[in-house]
Chain A
Amino acid sequence: MAMLEVKDLCTSFFTPSGEVKAVNGVSFNLDKGKVLGIVGESGSGKSVTAYSILQILTHPGKIVSGSIKFHDEELVGASDEKIREIRGNHISIIFQDPMTSLNPTLTIGNQLMEAILLHTGRNREQARERAIEMLEKVGINEPQKRMKQYAYELSGGMRQRVMIAMALACEPDILIADEPTTALDVTIQAQILELMQELQKEMGMAIIMITHDLGVIASMCDEVIVMYAGKVAERGTADAIFYTPKHEYTKGLMRSIPSIDSDEKTKLIPITGTPIDLLKLPSGCAFAPRCDCAMKICLQQHPEEFWVGRDHLAACWMNVKEGNVFEGRPEEEGEEETVNE
């Protein structure tokens, strides 16, 4: 039994110009202590998926259908009290921009203690101790002094550390990290990723890592979901996705990033066209208009997720054409078969 089971999740934003299907039938499982990466372009629905899990969608957004089960308990349609009990306690989140996600009018200490006081039976003094302990844990020096400071007094990297401390104060089972390092410099990004890996080992929580940076995914994640236009294009283990991508979009992404290791000046192969308008989704595969291999069926019918390896699913008709598809999840031997291909 997986800890978190998301099934056919659909989340839409009902805007004046029509329904924007931001998440359109996403399913995945997350096991204890695993790091799951969700990668995709802006507007692909990766953040909305995370916000749906915590139900922190803003106004015109609503979960339309699907199920989100946490420890076998349904979260879609659950009462507000139930969600509040889980939010920040069992599942917590850190956001991209650590400046806007911290309250500028509260001291760091007050913000840290808020979650602890709310979710654990500790009194103020114990909560204070716990907050200081967390600040130490995320590598902030002079935690006593920092408790009394405000967000503006800290640097970007420090703020993100505070956010992590806050998110982990109640020892959650799942930490959702929504582009946690995008706003940071490379050397600070390395610090934060290192810190997250250490804390993950120490505290054993699962992480959902949302990013558009394939490099971050490769260095952090066990499993990867590639999203395009609100749907899962491909999912599987990190090795499967990076070494044997089975969706044309994933292949295109891998080709279009410059490699720092190659010395020859090779041309990048970009994905042509522009990202799709979610108000005008085509009936077929959403990637087909930009796909070099698009066939007739791609324009007519959206591909379901096909099993293409033991831990590898891809929603691309090319796999049917090339005969990579298994009926149901293949056995151990089946995996080797596809690797040999």
Chain B
Amino acid sequence: MSEVQNASEYMLEVKNLKQYFPVNTGFFHSTMLKAVDNVSFSIKKGETLGLVGESGCGKTTVGRSILQLYKPTAGEVWFDGEKIESKESIKMLHKRAQMVFQDPYSSLNPRLTVADIVAEPIDVHKLCATKKERNDRILELLSIVGLSSEQATRYPHEFSGGQRQRVGIARALASNPEFIVCDEPVSALDVSIQAQVINMLEELQEKLGLTYLFIAHDLSVVKHISNRIAVMYLGNMVELADANELHHNPLHPYTISLLSAVPIPDPQKARASKRIVLSGDVPSPLKVPSGCPFRTRCTRATEECACCKPEFKEVSPGHFVACHNL
């Protein structure tokens, strides 16, 4: 993909990212778990890219590798036209890019007050010179996410799941980032609270001009919030397209079955529609099938699929698919 164009147009460019983890399989043996295998994509400024896939497909690992929480095995990450490799560039990245985590219960330190949790990025990056400035900034952040100032001195256990997620978002906003990786930010929340958090993320994006990488497994949520959607399967990206295009014209057999598996909250439509049920389970990432990783569950699989891995190529403008049998 020739996506190295105008540097300022893209917030983030990921090229051939690989993230392998060594796994002990016996006393003297270890194999490589290929959590992310050769993934390339880019995100424009102000855009939301949705990343979907089943558990274990490597979507969270992509988010973490981008933010250098893991050291990528291979591949390049470019942030706002700058290659991330030196210590300085990583420091710059950590100030300008932040993360919101899935579980609002385990991602907040139970021993810190909400004010101290939110202020952590401020302290780390030394963004406020005086105590007063720091305090004002904390209160400002809390009001942005809809929490009151008297809640600043409380501890995380005193909050509900939705409120905790707000604290997590306030913390992510503390260093004035331009890019936020949202790793399943609403999966742990109740339906009625989900909409509150989704709306807030959308409003913040508008107000602060944020760019999101939105990782989730719930396709209807991802479709709602994203401009473009990427689908991952077993560490590989299988399809990437505009959100509406992907919904109306899915090309990869995995995307098609994933879309048909989403339960529709409408009894008549649900009764009329036929689910395409995939057989079997996702193979272990330690034993990824040869060739196309999806071929063991694919209805279209041919001999070609077993011998060589399909290339991730553009089939129509902005629509990328990795499949031999389109």
Contacts and interface: CB of A to CB of B under 8 A. Distances in A.
Interface in A218-256: 218-219, 221, 238-239, 242-243, 252-256
Nearest to B54: A185
Contacts of B266: 218, 242
A249 B54 CA distance: 31
Contacts of A133: none
B210 to A, nearest CB: 16
B94 interface: no
A270 B270 contact: no
A263 B244 contact: yes
A193 B263 contact: yes
B160 A186 contact: no
B112 interface: no
Interface string B242-264: 00100100000000011111111
Interface stretch (B102-110, B119-127, B193-201, B305-313): B193-201
Q: How large is the interface on B (under 10, 10 to 19, 20 to 34, 35 or more residues)?
A: 35 or more
B267 A190 contact: no
B195 A214 contact: no
B301 interface: no
B220 A268 contact: no
B277 A194 contact: yes
Contacts of A320: none
Nearest to B221: A258
Given A185-B54, A267-B199, A239 B263 contact: no
Given A185-B54, A185-B55, A256 B195 contact: yes
A186 B265 contact: no
B281 A155 contact: yes
Nearest to A186: B261
Given A185-B55, A187-B278, A193-B263, A212 B190 contact: yes
A89 B223 CA distance: 44
A215 B223 CA distance: 16
Nearest to B297: A187
B243 to A, nearest CB: 9
A269 B199 CA distance: 8
Interface string B181-205: 0000000001111111011001000
Contact of A270 (B195, B217, B244, B259): B195
Contacts of A155: 281
B224 interface: yes
A217 B263 CA distance: 9
Contact of A260 (B194, B225, B264): B264
Contacts of B282: 185
A186 B268 CA distance: 20
- Residue of A157, A187, A189, A260 most packed against chain B (CB within 10 A): A187
A181 B92 CA distance: 42
Given A185-B54, A194-B277, A256 B270 contact: no
A158 interface: yes
B162 interface: yes
A268 B191 contact: no
Interface stretch (A47-55, A271-279, A292-300): A271-279
Contacts of A219: 263-264, 267, 270-271
Contacts of A256: 191-192, 194-195
Contacts of B199: 267-268, 270
A268 B54 CA distance: 25
Given A257-B265, A258-B220, A258-B223, A41 B190 contact: yes
A194 B270 CA distance: 12
28 contacts: A41-B190, A41-B191, A42-B190, A157-B281, A187-B277, A190-B277, A194-B275, A212-B190, A212-B191, A215-B264, A217-B265, A218-B266, A218-B267, A219-B267, A219-B270, A221-B267, A257-B220, A258-B195, A258-B221, A258-B223, A259-B265, A260-B259, A268-B198, A269-B195, A270-B195, A270-B196, A271-B195, A274-B163
